Amino acid sequence: MHSLSLGAMDASVVRPNRSLLLLLLFTALLFLGMPDALAHAVAEGDKGFIQESSGVMVLPFIYMGAKHMITGYDHLLFLFGVIFFLYRLKDVGLYVTLFALGHTVTLLLGVLAEINISSYVIDAIIGFSVVYKALDNLGAFQRWFGHQPNTKAATLIFGLLHGFGLATKIQEYEISADGLITNLIAFNVGVEIGQLLALSAILIVMGYWRRTASFWRHAYTANVAMMSAGFLLMGYQLTGLIVSQ
Protein backbone atom coordinates (compact mmCIF):
# COMPACT_ATOMS: atom_id res chain seq x y z
CA MET A 1 0.00 0.00 0.00
CA HIS A 2 1.49 3.32 -1.06
CA SER A 3 -0.55 5.56 1.19
CA LEU A 4 -3.05 5.27 3.97
CA SER A 5 -5.90 7.25 5.45
CA LEU A 6 -7.63 7.27 8.78
CA GLY A 7 -10.89 6.03 7.30
CA ALA A 8 -10.19 2.37 8.02
CA MET A 9 -8.53 2.85 11.39
CA ASP A 10 -10.17 1.85 14.64
CA ALA A 11 -11.75 4.81 16.42
CA SER A 12 -9.87 4.07 19.62
CA VAL A 13 -6.57 4.37 17.79
CA VAL A 14 -7.35 7.73 16.23
CA ARG A 15 -9.21 9.28 19.16
CA PRO A 16 -8.35 13.01 19.17
CA ASN A 17 -6.08 14.42 21.85
CA ARG A 18 -7.67 17.66 23.06
CA SER A 19 -4.49 19.25 24.35
CA LEU A 20 -2.62 18.62 21.12
CA LEU A 21 -5.59 19.81 19.08
CA LEU A 22 -5.70 23.10 20.99
CA LEU A 23 -1.95 23.55 20.55
CA LEU A 24 -2.15 22.92 16.81
CA LEU A 25 -5.12 25.24 16.42
CA PHE A 26 -3.28 27.96 18.34
CA THR A 27 -0.28 27.52 16.04
CA ALA A 28 -2.56 27.73 13.01
CA LEU A 29 -4.06 30.97 14.31
CA LEU A 30 -0.57 32.41 14.76
CA PHE A 31 0.27 31.55 11.17
CA LEU A 32 -2.92 33.05 9.83
CA GLY A 33 -2.37 36.19 11.86
CA MET A 34 0.99 36.82 10.23
CA PRO A 35 1.43 39.51 7.56
CA ASP A 36 0.43 38.78 3.99
CA ALA A 37 4.11 38.48 3.13
CA LEU A 38 3.99 34.97 4.52
CA ALA A 39 1.22 33.91 2.15
CA HIS A 40 1.25 34.66 -1.57
CA ALA A 41 2.20 38.28 -1.18
CA VAL A 42 5.86 39.16 -1.54
CA ALA A 43 7.75 40.84 1.31
CA GLU A 44 7.93 44.64 1.07
CA GLY A 45 11.68 44.67 0.46
CA ASP A 46 11.36 42.08 -2.30
CA LYS A 47 8.39 43.96 -3.73
CA GLY A 48 10.50 47.09 -4.14
CA PHE A 49 13.30 45.10 -5.74
CA ILE A 50 10.91 43.50 -8.24
CA GLN A 51 9.44 46.84 -9.22
CA GLU A 52 12.81 48.53 -9.66
CA SER A 53 14.74 45.68 -11.30
CA SER A 54 15.37 45.57 -15.02
CA GLY A 55 17.24 43.02 -17.09
CA VAL A 56 18.22 39.45 -16.28
CA MET A 57 18.84 38.92 -12.55
CA VAL A 58 18.95 35.17 -12.00
CA LEU A 59 20.34 34.76 -8.48
CA PRO A 60 18.18 37.42 -6.79
CA PHE A 61 15.03 35.92 -8.29
CA ILE A 62 16.08 32.39 -7.29
CA TYR A 63 16.56 33.67 -3.74
CA MET A 64 13.15 35.37 -3.68
CA GLY A 65 11.45 32.26 -5.06
CA ALA A 66 13.02 30.02 -2.41
CA LYS A 67 12.17 32.52 0.32
CA HIS A 68 8.57 32.68 -0.84
CA MET A 69 8.10 28.92 -0.66
CA ILE A 70 9.84 28.42 2.68
CA THR A 71 7.68 31.13 4.29
CA GLY A 72 4.48 30.22 2.41
CA TYR A 73 2.51 28.48 5.15
CA ASP A 74 -0.45 27.69 2.88
CA HIS A 75 1.82 25.82 0.45
CA LEU A 76 3.50 24.00 3.32
CA LEU A 77 0.20 23.01 4.94
CA PHE A 78 -0.96 21.47 1.68
CA LEU A 79 2.33 19.63 1.15
CA PHE A 80 2.20 18.42 4.75
CA GLY A 81 -1.21 16.94 4.03
CA VAL A 82 -0.10 15.40 0.75
CA ILE A 83 2.81 13.48 2.27
CA PHE A 84 1.15 12.71 5.61
CA PHE A 85 0.48 9.06 4.72
CA LEU A 86 3.12 8.61 2.02
CA TYR A 87 5.91 6.35 3.25
CA ARG A 88 7.90 5.59 0.10
CA LEU A 89 10.18 8.25 -1.36
CA LYS A 90 9.02 7.17 -4.82
CA ASP A 91 5.45 8.14 -3.96
CA VAL A 92 6.52 11.36 -2.26
CA GLY A 93 8.51 12.29 -5.36
CA LEU A 94 5.57 11.57 -7.67
CA TYR A 95 3.07 13.70 -5.76
CA VAL A 96 5.49 16.57 -5.19
CA THR A 97 6.41 16.52 -8.89
CA LEU A 98 2.72 16.76 -9.84
CA PHE A 99 2.28 19.69 -7.48
CA ALA A 100 5.44 21.40 -8.78
CA LEU A 101 4.38 20.86 -12.39
CA GLY A 102 1.02 22.49 -11.79
CA HIS A 103 2.59 25.34 -9.83
CA THR A 104 5.15 26.00 -12.58
CA VAL A 105 2.68 26.02 -15.46
CA THR A 106 0.28 28.53 -13.95
CA LEU A 107 2.97 30.76 -12.47
CA LEU A 108 4.50 31.27 -15.92
CA LEU A 109 1.19 31.26 -17.80
CA GLY A 110 -0.50 33.62 -15.37
CA VAL A 111 2.21 36.28 -15.60
CA LEU A 112 3.06 35.98 -19.31
CA ALA A 113 -0.59 35.83 -20.43
CA GLU A 114 -1.57 38.47 -17.84
CA ILE A 115 -4.33 36.29 -16.40
CA ASN A 116 -5.58 38.40 -13.53
CA ILE A 117 -7.70 36.68 -10.90
CA SER A 118 -8.58 38.15 -7.52
CA SER A 119 -5.87 37.14 -5.07
CA TYR A 120 -8.55 36.79 -2.39
CA VAL A 121 -10.42 34.22 -4.48
CA ILE A 122 -7.27 32.27 -5.32
CA ASP A 123 -6.05 32.25 -1.72
CA ALA A 124 -9.49 31.15 -0.52
CA ILE A 125 -9.33 28.24 -2.98
CA ILE A 126 -5.87 27.40 -1.67
CA GLY A 127 -7.34 27.35 1.82
CA PHE A 128 -9.97 24.96 0.48
CA SER A 129 -7.20 22.74 -0.91
CA VAL A 130 -5.87 22.36 2.64
CA VAL A 131 -9.37 21.44 3.87
CA TYR A 132 -9.79 18.98 1.01
CA LYS A 133 -6.51 17.20 1.72
CA ALA A 134 -7.24 16.95 5.44
CA LEU A 135 -10.66 15.43 4.70
CA ASP A 136 -9.02 13.05 2.24
CA ASN A 137 -6.53 11.96 4.91
CA LEU A 138 -9.40 11.43 7.35
CA GLY A 139 -11.14 9.11 4.87
CA ALA A 140 -14.16 11.42 4.73
CA PHE A 141 -14.91 11.07 1.02
CA GLN A 142 -14.94 7.29 1.18
CA ARG A 143 -17.32 7.36 4.15
CA TRP A 144 -19.60 10.09 2.81
CA PHE A 145 -19.77 9.19 -0.87
CA GLY A 146 -18.41 5.64 -1.04
CA HIS A 147 -15.80 6.87 -3.51
CA GLN A 148 -12.16 7.89 -3.23
CA PRO A 149 -11.21 10.82 -5.51
CA ASN A 150 -8.10 10.49 -7.64
CA THR A 151 -5.43 11.88 -5.34
CA LYS A 152 -2.88 12.38 -8.12
CA ALA A 153 -5.31 14.43 -10.22
CA ALA A 154 -6.32 16.47 -7.18
CA THR A 155 -2.68 17.23 -6.35
CA LEU A 156 -2.02 18.41 -9.92
CA ILE A 157 -5.18 20.55 -10.00
CA PHE A 158 -4.41 22.20 -6.69
CA GLY A 159 -0.83 22.75 -7.86
CA LEU A 160 -2.24 24.69 -10.81
CA LEU A 161 -4.33 26.81 -8.45
CA HIS A 162 -1.41 27.47 -6.09
CA GLY A 163 0.63 28.75 -9.05
CA PHE A 164 -2.08 31.24 -9.99
CA GLY A 165 -1.90 32.60 -6.45
CA LEU A 166 1.67 33.80 -6.85
CA ALA A 167 1.21 34.82 -10.49
CA THR A 168 -1.60 37.15 -9.43
CA LYS A 169 0.61 38.81 -6.83
CA ILE A 170 3.59 39.23 -9.16
CA GLN A 171 1.40 41.00 -11.71
CA GLU A 172 0.49 43.63 -9.12
CA TYR A 173 4.14 44.73 -8.94
CA GLU A 174 4.51 45.74 -12.60
CA ILE A 175 7.62 43.65 -13.15
CA SER A 176 9.84 44.88 -16.00
CA ALA A 177 9.44 43.19 -19.39
CA ASP A 178 13.24 43.32 -19.81
CA GLY A 179 14.46 39.86 -18.82
CA LEU A 180 10.95 38.87 -17.72
CA ILE A 181 10.95 35.25 -18.91
CA THR A 182 14.42 34.48 -17.56
CA ASN A 183 13.62 36.11 -14.22
CA LEU A 184 10.33 34.24 -13.94
CA ILE A 185 12.07 30.93 -14.65
CA ALA A 186 14.73 31.79 -12.06
CA PHE A 187 12.01 32.68 -9.56
CA ASN A 188 10.27 29.37 -10.20
CA VAL A 189 13.55 27.47 -9.83
CA GLY A 190 13.90 29.18 -6.46
CA VAL A 191 10.36 28.15 -5.55
CA GLU A 192 11.19 24.52 -6.28
CA ILE A 193 14.47 24.74 -4.33
CA GLY A 194 12.56 26.18 -1.40
CA GLN A 195 9.97 23.44 -1.74
CA LEU A 196 12.67 20.75 -1.61
CA LEU A 197 14.25 22.33 1.47
CA ALA A 198 10.91 22.65 3.26
CA LEU A 199 9.88 19.16 2.20
CA SER A 200 13.16 17.71 3.49
CA ALA A 201 12.56 19.27 6.90
CA ILE A 202 8.96 18.01 6.97
CA LEU A 203 10.03 14.48 5.98
CA ILE A 204 12.70 14.38 8.69
CA VAL A 205 10.17 15.41 11.35
CA MET A 206 7.54 13.02 9.97
CA GLY A 207 10.07 10.19 9.88
CA TYR A 208 10.81 10.55 13.58
CA TRP A 209 7.13 11.01 14.46
CA ARG A 210 6.02 7.93 12.54
CA ARG A 211 8.42 5.77 14.55
CA THR A 212 6.71 6.75 17.81
CA ALA A 213 3.58 5.24 19.31
CA SER A 214 1.94 8.66 19.30
CA PHE A 215 1.72 8.96 15.51
CA TRP A 216 -1.52 7.05 15.03
CA ARG A 217 -2.98 8.47 18.24
CA HIS A 218 -2.42 12.03 17.06
CA ALA A 219 -2.82 11.63 13.28
CA TYR A 220 -6.54 12.37 13.53
CA THR A 221 -5.92 15.46 15.63
CA ALA A 222 -3.23 16.77 13.30
CA ASN A 223 -5.51 16.48 10.27
CA VAL A 224 -8.45 18.09 12.07
CA ALA A 225 -6.15 20.98 13.02
CA MET A 226 -4.96 21.23 9.42
CA MET A 227 -8.56 21.28 8.21
CA SER A 228 -9.39 24.00 10.73
CA ALA A 229 -6.45 26.07 9.52
CA GLY A 230 -7.73 25.70 5.96
CA PHE A 231 -11.19 26.91 6.98
CA LEU A 232 -9.65 29.86 8.82
CA LEU A 233 -7.60 30.76 5.76
CA MET A 234 -10.71 30.54 3.57
CA GLY A 235 -12.68 32.75 5.94
CA TYR A 236 -9.87 35.29 6.20
CA GLN A 237 -9.56 35.62 2.41
CA LEU A 238 -13.31 35.70 1.74
CA THR A 239 -13.70 38.39 4.38
CA GLY A 240 -10.96 40.37 2.67
CA LEU A 241 -12.78 39.96 -0.66
CA ILE A 242 -16.03 41.29 0.79
CA VAL A 243 -14.37 44.21 2.55
CA SER A 244 -12.43 45.18 -0.58
CA GLN A 245 -15.58 45.56 -2.67
Q: How far apart are the C-alpha atoms of 203 and 205, rounded to whole Å?
A: 5
The pLDDT tens digits of the residues spanning 71-97 come to 888 888 888 999 998 888 888 889 888
Question: Once rounded to an integer, what is the mean pLDDT over residues 219-242?
Answer: 90
The pLDDT tens digits of the residues spanning 111-130 come to 888 888 888 888 899 899 99
With a CB cutoff of 8 Å and minimum separation 6, the contacts of 169 are 40, 41, 42, 119
* Torsion angles phi and psi, residue 39, rounded to 5: -105, -125
Residue 165: per-residue pLDDT = 79
For 83, 92, 124, 160, 189, the CA distances from 102, given in Å and listed in that order, are 17, 16, 18, 4, 14
Helix (H) / strand (E) containing 8 = none
Residues facing residue 3 across a β-bridge: 86
Cβ contact 228:135 at 8 Å: no
Question: Once rounded to an integer, what is the mean pLDDT over residues 199-228?
Answer: 89
User: pLDDT-based confidence at 134, cuts 50/70/90?
Assistant: very high
User: Residue 196 pLDDT more than 60?
Assistant: yes
User: What region, left, alpha or beta, does residue 117 occupy, with left being phi > 0 and alpha being psi -120 to 50 degrees?
Assistant: beta
With a CB cutoff of 8 Å and minimum separation 6, the contacts of 31 are 38, 73, 229
**Most confident listed range (7-11, 22-26, 161-165):** 161-165
